[in-house]
């Protein structure tokens, strides 16, 4: 099993300072921005299972758009959708009851770096790298046209209308995780740490390629019970209830790998040769530069600079009542009781915690993060630069945006792929918190 547990403290602090100075002084007008485009190398719809399975190639011009939504705080998986056009006959086959649970799609999406944002021409010199590759379970959404089955069949018998297309949206769930996310692992482990327990769960689920931040809780448990709940809920229980990371853990199964990382604005888990830092540059000197989008990659020092096209602050009005109610009572394992509002006579909820940071402190920290958060949009970037394990450093100009300068972590992201000839362009939005 491949679990990367990397201790990344302040050993690189000096180099990090030099790097920050270099990027702060870097003017986007003086560097060559690159623009990342995406191509669908192959896409196949598989309907049915076993020997009766039928394969339908999905060409690029059949795909209208794709969307990937990541909510690292509230979800375990991405929301991945594709809007495409299929022949009516294929759509009817797909939506039959016996096929609806056995439809899959093999996707091989790649990214390539271009020197121009527009007027693209195919170039043999451009090297494409894999971005999304694997088999996905297909869940069919509503079809835009409302044609009766008999009406469709009649139209197809008419040679003039044969091959009429239906526009549909499908949700895609990666097969590696789809059949495992609700797996129940019921066991009693002895003389184990929380890391041992995590590894045991991933091994039982057959999940590889996991990034794990070094744990804060290294206690040896003489007995640890894996109660009969889903794998995701169990990993979340280890992370939150037992304080695997002092400030909380993110458990997330991405399209390329799984994460169990701490909620800090630092890169504490990474693969070999991975870019650890993404700088977000907000330029006010040149509006044309800002609107162009794109990004810069330093291959020697392994950092990205993302050219932000828009920045927006989070709306935090009335956050306290919406998030926590007017009063929470927290009881820890030693019986200590604490409240968010000591004068309140009514209790909204009681939380029992075992170890680590108190729930009250956790609530206040979450509120502080929300108040200090912001959203930023980007065009034509390498979406790998918006990964939850990276450290994000804002370098903004002017009084309006300079207040955002500092270190952040990524809490959510959205990528919208729009077809442009044989390629797809991408517009991305990241939500960040301190």
pLDDT score for 18: 37
In the numeric block, which tokens belong to residue 56?
Answer: 């339908």
Q: pLDDT tens track of the chain, all 434 residues?
A: 444 443 333 333 333 333 444 444 555 555 678 899 999 999 999 998 888 888 999 999 999 999 999 999 999 999 999 999 988 888 888 887 555 567 899 999 999 988 765 555 545 567 889 999 999 999 886 555 444 555 555 555 554 444 578 888 999 999 888 777 778 888 999 999 999 999 999 999 888 889 999 999 999 999 999 999 999 999 999 998 899 999 899 999 999 999 999 999 999 999 999 999 999 988 765 555 556 789 999 888 899 999 998 888 654 333 333 333 344 444 444 445 555 455 544 444 444 444 444 444 554 555 455 556 889 999 999 999 999 999 999 887 777 777 888 899 999 999 999 999 889 999 999 999 98
Going by their DSSP bridges, the two strands 277-282 and 391-396 should be labelled as parallel
Task: Identify which of 132, 121, 43, 20 has the alpha carbon closest to the alpha carbon of residue 382.
Answer: 132
Q: Distance between CA 433 and CA 263 in Å, rounded?
A: 10
- Residue 18: CB atoms within 10 A of its CB come to 10
pLDDT score for 318: 34
Which residue's structure tokens are 């006959």?
89
pLDDT score for 403: 80
pLDDT score for 49: 81
pLDDT score for 102: 76
Task: Give me the domains of the chain, ranges plus CATH numbers.
Answer: 36-174 (2.30.110), 321-366 (no CATH)
Residue 212 · residue 268 · CB < 8 Å: no
pLDDT score for 395: 82
Rounded to two decimals, what is the model's pTM?
0.79
Residue 367 · residue 328 · CB < 8 Å: no
The torsion angle over the Cα atoms of residues 434, 290, 421 and 144, rounded to 10 degrees, is: 60
């Amino acid at each position: 099993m491949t679990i990367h547990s990397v201790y990344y403290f302040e050993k690189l602090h000096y180099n990090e300072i030099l790097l920050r100075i270099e990027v702060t002084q870097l003017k986007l007008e003086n560097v060559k921005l690159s623009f990342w485009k995406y191509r669908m190398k192959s896409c196949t719809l598989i309907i049915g299972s076993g020997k009766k399975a039928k394969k339908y190639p999905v060409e690029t011009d059949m795909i209208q758009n794709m969307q990937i939504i990541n909510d690292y705080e509230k979800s375990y998986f991405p929301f991945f959708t594709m809007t495409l056009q299929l022949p009516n006959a294929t759509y009817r086959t797909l939506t039959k009851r016996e096929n609806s649970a056995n439809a899959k799609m093999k996707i091989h999406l790649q990214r390539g770096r271009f020197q121009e944002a527009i007027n693209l021409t195919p170039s043999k010199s451009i090297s494409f790298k894999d971005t999304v590759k694997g088999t996905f379970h297909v869940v069919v959404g509503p079809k835009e046209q409302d044609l009766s089955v008999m009406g469709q069949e009649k139209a197809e018998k008419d040679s003039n209308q044969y091959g009429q297309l239906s526009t549909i949206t499908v949700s895609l769930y990666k097969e590696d995780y789809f059949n495992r996310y609700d797996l129940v692992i019921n066991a009693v482990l002895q003389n184990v740490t929380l890391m041992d327990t995590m590894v045991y769960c991933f091994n039982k689920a057959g999940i590889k390629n996991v990034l794990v931040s070094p744990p804060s809780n290294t206690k040896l448990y003489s007995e640890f019970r894996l109660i009969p709940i889903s794998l995701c809920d169990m990993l979340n229980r280890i992370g939150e209830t037992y304080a695997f990371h002092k400030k909380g853990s993110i458990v997330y199964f991405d399209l390329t790998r799984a994460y169990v990382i701490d909620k800090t604005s630092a890169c504490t888990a990474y693969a070999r040769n991975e870019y650890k830092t993404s700088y977000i540059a907000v330029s006010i000197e040149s509006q044309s530069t800002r609107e162009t989008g794109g990004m810069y990659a330093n291959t020697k020092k392994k950092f990205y600079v993302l050219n932000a096209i828009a920045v927006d602050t989070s709306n935090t009005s009335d956050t306290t009542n919406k998030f926590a109610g007017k009063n929470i009572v927290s009881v820890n394992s030693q019986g200590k009781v604490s409240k968010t509002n000591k004068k309140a006579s009514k209790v909204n909820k009681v939380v029992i915690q075992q170890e680590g940071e108190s729930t009250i402190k956790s609530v206040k920290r979450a509120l502080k993060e929300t108040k200090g958060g912001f959203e930023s949009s980007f065009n034509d970037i390498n979406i790998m630069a918006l990964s939850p394990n990276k450290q994000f450093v804002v370098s903004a100009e002017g009084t309006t945006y300079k207040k955002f300068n500092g270190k952040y972590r990524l809490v959510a992201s959205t990528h919208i792929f729009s077809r442009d000839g044989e390629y797809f362009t991408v517009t991305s939005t990241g939500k960040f918190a301190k």
